Amino acid sequence: MKSYLNFLSKRLSSLIIRICLLLLLNIIVYVITFYGVISKDYGVTSPRNTLAFISENSSISGISSSAKEQLDAINVWAIFIDNNGNVAWNYAAPSELPDKFSINDVAIFSKGYLLDYPVFVDTNDDGLLLLGYPKDSYFKLSNNAFSINAIRKLPVFFVAILILDAFIVLLLYYRSKKRMVSNIEPILDGIESLSKGQPAVVKVGGDLEEISDGINKASQIISRQNIARANWIAGVSHDIRTPLAIILGYADKIKSHCDADSDFYKYSKIIGHNSFKIKNLVSDLNVVSKLQYDMQPLNMETTRMSKLLRTFVADRINEGLEDKYTLTLNIAEEAEPLSLNCDSRLINRALSNLVNNSISHNPEGCNINIDLMSTEDGLKLVIRDDGVGVTEDQQKIMQKPHYMDSLDDKLDLRHGLGTIIVKEIVQAHGGKVETPVVDNGYTTLLSFNL
Amino acid sequence: MDTFIFTKKLLIVDDEPELLAMVKSILEEAGFTNIVTAGSVSDALTICHLTLPDMALLDVMLPDGDGFELYEKINKIARIPMIFLTAKDASDDKLTGLGLGADDYIVKPFLPQELILRVCAVLRRCYKDNSVLSLDGCNIDFERAEVIKESETLPLTAKEHALLKILADNSGKIVTVDNLCEALWGDNPFGYENSLNAHVRRVREKIEINPSSPTSLITVKGLGYKLITRN
């Protein structure tokens, strides 16, 4: 509703200005159309002015020559009727006019026409001066009486009708805008989703149906492409797994059959290590692509964070952690009961990637700490190590968009998927990832709102 | 290590002959002596009908069906421990596998050591003659719920028995306080940590030579406990 009102108020002033401009235009057209006629018919030759002029330049005894010229110029005839109804004189009057007029005749023509000629009358002590204009030159109201009550009501009526009209116009305007906005809003939402590469379903009838159909079709194409891409990635990663298992298995076998100081031992170790890297990359790629294309439904459950972390750390240690690494969990007392609505599998995945990062960047060993703390509006997880850390330059490189998000031709293939997967997972939970610059080692902060 | 598990008969089912050969050689090298392989559902079922294996490792995608179906068919013949070994890692696949009652789920590619450990763990859990457990200072008879020391025999309470059982099932591994509380008090056991501490103290008094410096039931700070066994 608020958006409609905003929309309305924004457009209202321009609507009013437009209405005023329209009125002005009407006046201008009116003036242009009627200027000639008005100036001619209501100017110096108008009946009122002519009547005054002729009246001044004539009497019962006759008419001056200047008055005659004036009458000739505008093709008007004149007669003078004395107080007894006799025609005292006439000038250019039609021949069918009678010589004498009764009081009835006078009463009739004084308000209107004489033999269809529109006539205008001036009186003086001697009688009546009558000007006859050509037939069909003027329209005269012969019964021009109006009720005083009706005329008194007119101003109120005009103001009321104006207000009513304004109200109706605004109402119609508001309704049409509202309908437009309610139709356009889903379309805009749909377009926004499409611009993010996400599918959209828009249901709009009427004139805009064609547009919404177009959006739905585009959306179908995008989701088909997304599904195809995610499936393609899933398929490739599936097909890589079996050969990789064979490589890992035999590399290990070679290693176990070589002397620990032989080159072959070293080579097989390198093969194993790199196969392991591919293994992680493949499974990360799968998770990232599914998260990015919204293919991975989040399995949200209320999970006690302290329990999740204890299980994660215990599993990690139980799986076997080399002696040069330590993994320590510190849970602040007030954070112990905190629960987060989350997909624990994905949170585990993020933690695992961060711990793996610390391990793989510190082949000489390091101490890894996981801290859980409560904050004002949620909880904070700190994963920190005291290893070699990163330089400021490296940190800057890591802030750049990842190649998964990059459209640059020169694909920057420096870093793997480890960090992007953490970002994707935390964002999917409405959280935030920070990597502050620290003096010692590498630190990642994950914060979630409860 | 329990040597009896290496005599168990293992069936490995995968449609990839090279992988089959590799898994077989890894397990043989680890000490397993009785391994059969199959490349399809029908081959696997033929083997199971002839002589039932003690355990099966199943690939999920097979040329004539899927591993989940095979799991159910083998289960109808006899209930044996089974592990899924697959290149699929989609979460619902994992749930399908474990929901059926599979004992574990290993995603390819795996480290050979990981495979051996998991196979051994499942076999030990399912076949171990685990009624008597040998610790530093005593033996525990789970069937009789007794701690047997040189000079005396001490009875275990139900809670102490449950505590030792879950630790023994995961011997050498950390079991978190959360898992222990859940095993002892059921779901949502938040707030039972103090009671757990009390039970641990009493168990130590029964099983440790010197309860104030334990060598069998070890505290792992901030996480939980683990039980160090002798065998």
A245, A256, A337 ranked by CB distance to B109: nearest: A245
Closest Cα in chain A to B30: A253
Among B22, B89, B190, select the one facing A249 at the smallest CB separation: B22
Are residues B67 and B147 located together in one domain of the fold? no
Residue that is last in its domain, among B95, B127, B159:
B127
Question: Does the beta carbon of B178 lie under 8 angstroms from any beta carbon of chain A?
Answer: yes
Helix axes B17-30, B112-127, angle to 10 degrees: 60
Give me the total of CB pairs closer than 8 Å, taking one residue from chain A and one from chain B.
Answer: 91
Q: Are B223 and A314 in contact (CB under 8 A)?
A: yes
Of the residues B116, B173, B174, the best mutation for testing chain A's interface (the one with the most A CB atoms within 10 Å of its CB) is B174
Q: Is the domain of B120 the same as that of B148?
A: no
- Out of B87, B107, B127, a domain closes at B127
> Are residue B90 and residue B195 in the same domain, yes or no?
no
Interface test with A, best of B176, B194, B221, B228 (most A CBs within 10 A): B176
Same domain for B62 and B154, yes or no, is: no
Contact A242 B108 (CB under 8 A): yes
Instruction: Give CA–CA dist B4/A432, Å, rounded.
Output: 51
Give the distance from residue B95's alpha carbon to the nearest chain A alpha carbon, in angstroms: 12
Q: Does one domain contain both B121 and B157?
A: no
* Distance between CA atoms of residues B5 and B127, nearest Å: 8
What's the gap in Å between the CA of B191 and the closest CA on chain A? Answer: 9
Query: Which CA distances in Å does A263 have to A257, A274, A364?
Result: 12, 16, 21
CB < 8 Å to A253, chain B: 22, 25-26, 29, 112
B-chain residue closest to A371, CA distance: B222
Domains of chain B: total: 2
Stated as kind and residue range, the H or E segment containing B202 is helix B193-207
Closest CA to B11 of B125, B119, B163, B150: B119
Contacts of A283 in chain B (CB under 8 A): 89, 107
Please report the residues numbered 51 through 110 in chain B whose beta carbons come closer than 8 angstroms to any beta carbon of chain A: 87-91, 107-110
Structural tokens at position B79: 């209930």
CA distances from A258 to A60, A254, A262 (A): 150, 6, 7
Residue where a domain terminates, one of B107, B127, B147: B127
Q: Write down the residue that tokens 């070699």 correspond to.
A: A388
Q: Pick out chain B residues at pLDDT < 50.
A: none
* Helix-strand-coil split of chain B, %, nearest 5: 45, 20, 35
Q: What is the largest CA-CA distance in chain B?
A: 61
Tell me: do B103 and B193 sit in the same domain. Answer: no
Collect all residues of chain B within an 8 Å Cβ-Cβ radius of residue A303: none
The reply to whether residue B177 touches residue A253, judged by beta carbons under 8 angstroms, is: no
Comparing CA positions, the residue from A280, A241, A279, A282 lying closest to residue B16 is A241
Question: Token match 């009550």: residue?
Answer: A149
What are φ and ψ of residue B176, in 5° steps?
Answer: -70, 155
What is the domain partition of chain A in residue ranges? 47-132, 207-290, 297-449
Residues B210, B156 share a domain: yes
ipTM of the prediction: 0.78
Nearest-angstrom CA–CA distance, A349 and A287: 9
A134-154 in b/e form (b: 16+ CB < 10 A) is eeeeeeeeeeeeeeeeeeeee
Question: In chain A, what is the greatest distance between 2 CA atoms, to the nearest angstrom?
Answer: 155
In CATH, the architecture of A297-449 is 2-Layer Sandwich (3.30)
Using the beta-carbon criterion (under 8 Å), do A279 and B178 form an inter-chain contact?
A: no
Residue B35 shares a structural domain with residue B91: yes
Task: Indicate the pTM of the whole model.
Answer: 0.64
Strand-strand pairing, B55-58 and B9-13? parallel
CATH code where residue B219 lies: 1.10.10.10
Neighbouring C-beta atoms of residue A12, cutoff 10 Å: 14
The tokens describing A301, both together, are: 């459950």
Whether residues B176 and A242 touch (CB distance < 8 A) is answered with no
What pLDDT is attached to residue A195?
82
The distance from CA A4 to its chain's CA centroid, rounded to whole angstroms, is 11
Those residues with Cβ within 8 angstroms of residue B179's Cβ, 6 or more apart along the chain or in another chain:
A311, B166, B224
**CB-based burial label for A261 (10 Å; 0-12, 13-18, 19+):** exposed
Is the same domain home to B112 and B143? no
Q: So what's the pLDDT on residue B99?
A: 67
User: What span, in angstroms and rounded, lies between the C-alpha atoms of A59 and A81?
Assistant: 10
- What residue of B is the nearest CA neighbor of A235? B88
- Write out pLDDT tens, residues A202-260: 887 777 788 888 888 888 888 888 888 888 888 888 888 889 889 988 998 888 888 88
Asked if residue B122 and residue B137 are part of one domain, the reply reads no
Range of the domain at B157: 132-227
DSSP string, A273-327: HHHHHHHHHHHHHHHHHHHHTT-S----EEEEHHHHHHHHHHHHHHH---TTEEE
Q: Which residues in chain B have Cβ-Cβ distances shorter than 8 Å to A317? A: 174, 220, 223
Residues B58 and B172 in one domain: no
What is the model's pLDDT at position A7? Answer: 58
Q: CA-nearest residue of chain A to B174?
A: A314
Whether the bond into A155 is cis, omega within 30 of 0: no
CATH of the domain at B51: 3.40.50.2300
* Chain A contacts to B (CB-CB under 8 A): 234, 238-239, 241-242, 244-250, 252-253, 256, 275-276, 279, 283, 286, 296, 299, 304, 306-307, 310-311, 313-314, 317-318, 328-331, 337, 345
Q: How far is CA B154 from CA A352, A412, B139, B141, in A?
A: 43, 67, 11, 10
Whether residues B109 and A314 touch (CB distance < 8 A) is answered with no
Residues in chain A: 450
Same domain assignment for residues B175 and B203: yes
Contact A307 B178 (CB under 8 A): yes
- Is A313–B111 a contact, with Cβ atoms under 8 angstroms apart? no
How buried is residue B34: exposed, middle or buried, by Cβ count under 10 Å (0-12/13-18/19+)?
middle
Given this model, what pLDDT does residue B89 score? 66
Spans of chain A below 70 pLDDT:
1-10, 40-42, 142-144, 294-297, 395-416
